[in-house]
Amino acid sequence: MQSTYSNTLHKLPQVQEQRNDGMPLDLDWVMAVQANTSAIERRAKTLPGRRSVKKDYQAAWLCKAISLIDLTTLSGDDSEGRVRRLCAKARQPVRADILDQLGMTGLTTGAVCVYHDMVETAVAALDGSGIPVAAVSTGFPAGLSPFHLRIAEIGESVKAGAAEIDIVISRRHVLTGNWQALYDEMKAMREACGDAHVKAILATGELGTLRNVARASLVCMMAGADFIKTSTGKEPVNATLPVTLTMIRAIRDYQDRTGIKVGYKPAGGISKAKDALVYLSMMKDELGDRWLQPDLFRFGASSLLGDIERQLEHHVTGAYSASWRHAIG
């Protein structure tokens, strides 16, 4: 199993990519962007049945998916104890006996994502692990608090030790076509993050059209977003395959024109191992192997890990276990 994993995905090039410093807002480029919704939806419908991996190869891809998860808790009843348990799960995402049978060592999740108030707890719990802490910020999830407070919240999270900041954009700028306002907002948030990487949450379920999604993706990248992300997980519609195709093709277009690679994070509604495999194969097909590393791709998820762990146990034992045997915390 270990050799299969290594040959399949593990030994991809470990390159320190140039950070996206952004560029001046190019409204001609933005307004030229279109989205053929019917064609995108037709393509998306074919994806789940186009690529199938089995046995050791499937287990290898599922291990890769674990390494790309932003293990997340964003609940009103979060406590320090819950966050510490989540961090322990991030360090040891799969039961040791399963990993032993797979021949896997050193597997962790890509990051832990929490509210600002839990950043210090998560940083302390992950000390020495190399797992970064991501903080949702800027009035998450609505992004409607006063702008100076949203900027200040970013600074506080960075000061508390967050290495990544997941910000939310003002949806009204997209819905009214005020691309300059969106650019200026995103640029100010990027500057407030300093050395911390910034993921721009578009809340795509509230943007109305795929054309809006494509244009908002491009504007955020022009303003310096290191990642673009689908959703907060709190909207009625979160990550979908048509939205993902739209966003990753915007990433490809941006790289073609600037030479800069920007990351992608689907979040909300991805809870099954089979769905993770579809997203991974799509990233490989559309953007290439380089986007199968955690510096350029993440899943925003919590329950996804439990289902992947069940599938891995089935792979090594031939039987499915109860979900409670793979508790997140």
Whether 199 is catalytic is no
Buried residues in 167-183 as b, exposed as e (16+ CB within 10 A): bbbbbebbeeeebeebb
Superfamily of domain 27-45+55-326: Aldolase class I (3.20.20.70)
Angle, vertex CA 274, rays to CA 87 and CA 233, nearest 5? 55
Verify whether residue 229 is a known catalytic residue: yes
Q: Which of 89, 265, 275, 307 is catalytic?
A: 265
Nearest CA to 22 out of 289, 223, 260 is that of 223
pLDDT per residue of the chain (329 residues) written in tens, 0 to 9? 444 444 444 444 455 688 999 999 999 999 999 999 999 999 999 988 766 788 899 999 999 999 999 999 999 999 999 999 999 999 999 999 999 999 999 999 999 999 999 999 999 999 999 999 999 999 999 999 999 999 999 999 999 999 999 999 999 999 999 999 999 999 999 999 999 999 999 999 999 999 999 999 999 999 999 999 999 999 999 999 999 999 999 999 999 999 999 999 999 989 999 999 999 999 999 999 999 999 999 999 889 999 999 999 999 998 877 766 776 65
Q: What is the pTM of this model?
A: 0.93
Check 166, 226, 275, 307 and give the catalytic one.
166
Question: Is 166 an annotated catalytic residue?
Answer: yes
SS3 category, 265: strand
